[in-house]
Structure formats: structure tokens, C-alpha cells
Amino acid sequence: MATLREVAQKAGVTVTTVSRMLNKPDMVSPATCKRIRQAMQALDYQPNEIARSLSKKTSNFIGLIVPSARNAFFAKVIERMEKHIAANGYKLLLCVSNHERKKEIEYFSMLKANKVAGVIIASHTQDISESISIDAPVISIDRIISPSISAVCSDNFNGGKMAADLLAAKGCKRIAYFTGGVMLRGMSASLRQQGFEQTLQQYGIQPIIQAHREDRFISMRYQDLIAEFFENHGDIDGAFCSNDILAAEIIRYALKRGIDVPGQLKVIGYDDIDLAALYTPSITTIHQPVNDISRYAVESIVHYGERPLPASTVFPVRLIERESA
């Protein structure tokens, strides 16, 4: 692999000039630029990013810590993040924490050791800011985990409200809210729930809140949990779920029991993952602005220092009406 010095030699200039061309292009004349570029091509030169990073004391990696890569919602997050990261000339260092605080912290220090330009974290771990110290910007997405970490979220309160309005408008009277423990703890889920509950109360409806303990949900036996719920509340006619998977599970349960969806039971999901459009019946849901969140988070890091980081930024959500409600 050719080095900068070899390129310089071949182009008949000094390393300084070549380096300048790479870093402050307008400082070197077009003619010289061209010669250098030719030399680079001839030698198949590629700057060694590692050396660059060492010298600059920062890399152009952006660390992304997510609880899961497989979950459709986070898969979407990863996809969008990667898109914007690459579009800005950065590289994605992906970390899957599996909801473990310990791993999140380990990943954090790994990212620090690799001098990342910034880290974006989707965590349910509150107060993580105490366990980490990093000079690069840290952005939390989807929830507020610490007052000192800038958050970019969607309008969860309004998401809850939209769902409530729709169910009420469709005439539902006995409504349940299902939330999936670990996946949706923290501020944003509660805001969502608050928006839902408060709005329903305006219609004179008191929803049944079904929040499962983490450990029960981690075991993934959704169908059993749902069956248990329906034994006690078989008469509900509306359900709002904190994510689309949960909505699909409930529809699945209903279909198996011969309950017509949306005829007898209207179901609304959350996130708008691909599955929502594919399921039969397709799932009415609240669309999360994953793309906006991702773009904003990435750009916040890329332009760090140019503008101050807001404590939090929230993007609007959208109701997507499909067949299930």
C-alpha cells in the first residue's frame, strides 16, 4: 500500500502539500491538485484512515448502541442511521446491548477507546450518563435517559392521543393498553401512555393498562400472557399496543379465538414496521419518524460544535389507518 510520502515523491511535491490537498483543498492550486491526483491514481493510493484518526485525535466512526438488531423497529433505525452516517462520510460502528446496562457501558468505553466522533444510543437505561465519560457528543434516541444527554424523540404523547381519538371515534368503549415491559420503559413510553389515558378520559373511558414485567416478556410467551389477559377481560373492543409486534400477537390471538378484527376488536399498533402492512388484517398504527430522528441525530454529531445541542428535539408522529382498526 502506497503512503503519502510516496505519492508526494511521485507528484514531485512535499508531503505537506499532499496532506494539505487532502485536508484544506482550497489551499492548493488546481494544477498541483491534478498532478497529485494522478500520482495517487498511479499508485492506487488510499489514505490510511487509522493514521489520520490518530493524528486528528478523532475518527469518523459514529457508534450506535441499540438493544437489538433483530427487532424490526431497531432494524429500521439501524438502516436509517447507516444511510445518514454514510451520506455524511462517516462509518457506523454497531453495538447491540441486548438491554444490558453492563454491555452498554462496556460498549461506551470501547467507543471511547476508538475515538468515535459521537455516539447515538437507544437505551432504556436511565442515568447512564454517570457511568460514562466521553468527550464526544452523545445523543439518545426515542427516550430521554438523562438530563445531560441530548435526546431526539418522536411525539409520544400525541401518538397516544391519536390512538385514543381513533378508538373513541370508532365507538370502542372497553379499551386496553398493552405495553411490553423492557422494550418500552422510560419517558417516551410513559408519555405515550399518558397521552392515551388522558385523552380517553376526556371521552369518559378508563382504559385497562396491561404492562408486563420485563422478565415475563423476555421469555417471549406472548400468546400465553395474552390468553391470561383475555380470561379476565374477554369483553374488550379496542386495544392499543406499544408496538406492532404486540399488536400482531393480539390479532393472532383474536383470530384463533374467532374474534373478528376489526369487527369485534379494534387493534392499533405503534412504530409502523414493515410487518404492519403485511399482516392480515393489516395493522393500523402510529408511524414513528425514524428517518427524521436518524437524520437529526447523525447531523447533530456531524455538526457538533457548530451549533449548540438542544436538550431534546421531538418530531411528529402520524396515524396510519389500515385494516385492524
Partner DNA sequence: AAAACAATGTCAAGCGGTTGACATTTCAAA
Partner DNA sequence: TTTGAAATGTCAACCGCTTGACATTGTTTT
Instruction: Give yes or no for a contact between 126 and 150, defined as CB atoms under 8 angstroms apart.
Output: no
Site for DNA (CB under 7 A): which residue of 10, 28, 80, 212?
28
Q: Determine, following the binding rule CB under 7 A, whether residue 27 of this chain makes contact with DNA.
A: yes
Q: Say whether residue 285 binds its own copies (CB under 8 A).
A: no
Write out the DSSP string of 162-201.
HHHHHHHHTT--SEEEEE-GGGG-SHHHHHHHHHHHHHHH
Q: Is the peptide bond preceding residue 308 cis, with omega within 30 degrees of 0?
A: no
Q: Does 22 bind DNA (CB under 7 A)?
A: yes
50 binds its own copies (CB under 8 A): yes
Q: Is 235 helix (H, G, I), strand (E, B) or coil?
A: coil
Interaction between residue 43 and its own copies (CB under 8 A): no
218 binds its own copies per the rule CB under 8 A:
no
92 touches 62 (CB < 8 A)? yes
With binding defined as CB under 8 A, does residue 95 bind its own copies? yes
- In whole angstroms, how far apart are CA 101 and each of 65, 95, 184? 11, 13, 15
Helix H or strand E segment including 222: helix 222-232
Between 20 and 80, name the residue whose CB sits nearer to DNA: 20
Contact flag: residue 225 with its own copies (CB under 8 A): no
27 binds, among its own copies, DNA, none (CB under 5 to 8 A by kind): DNA
Which span (27-35, 150-158, 163-171, 295-303) binds DNA, by CB under 7 A?
27-35
Work out whether 79 is an interface residue with its own copies (CB under 8 A).
Answer: yes
**Binding partner selected for residue 307 from its own copies, DNA, none, CB under the kind-specific 5 to 8 Å limit:** none
- Whether residue 143 contacts residue 127, with contact meaning beta carbons closer than 8 Å, is answered with no
Sorted by sequence, the CB contacts under 8 Å of residue 251 that are 6+ apart come out as 261, 267, 279, 281, 283, 324
Nearer to DNA, 59 or 210 (CB): 59
What span, in angstroms and rounded, lies between the C-alpha atoms of 272 and 48? Answer: 41
Please pick, from the candidates 9, 25, 29, 237, the single residue that binds DNA as defined by CB under 7 A: 29
Phi-psi region of 75 (alpha: psi -120 to 50; beta: other; left: phi over 0): alpha
Contacts 24+ apart (CB under 8 A), 83-87: 83/294, 84/294, 84/295, 84/298, 84/299, 85/298
Q: CA Rg, the chain, in Å?
A: 25
Selected binder of its own copies within 27, 31, 70, 308 (CB under 8 A) = 70
Using the rule CB under 8 A, give the single segment among 5-13, 29-37, 49-57, 199-207 that binds its own copies. Answer: 49-57
Choose between 113 and 215: whose C-beta lies nearer to DNA.
Answer: 113
User: Strand pairing partners for 91?
Assistant: 61
Residues interacting with DNA, by CB under 7 A? Answer: 1, 3-5, 12-17, 19-20, 22-23, 27-29, 31-32, 45-48, 51-52, 54-57
Residues interacting with its own copies, by CB under 8 A? Answer: 46-51, 53-54, 59, 61, 68-72, 75-76, 78-79, 82-83, 86, 91-96, 109-110, 112-115, 245, 248-249, 251-252, 255-256, 274-275, 278-280
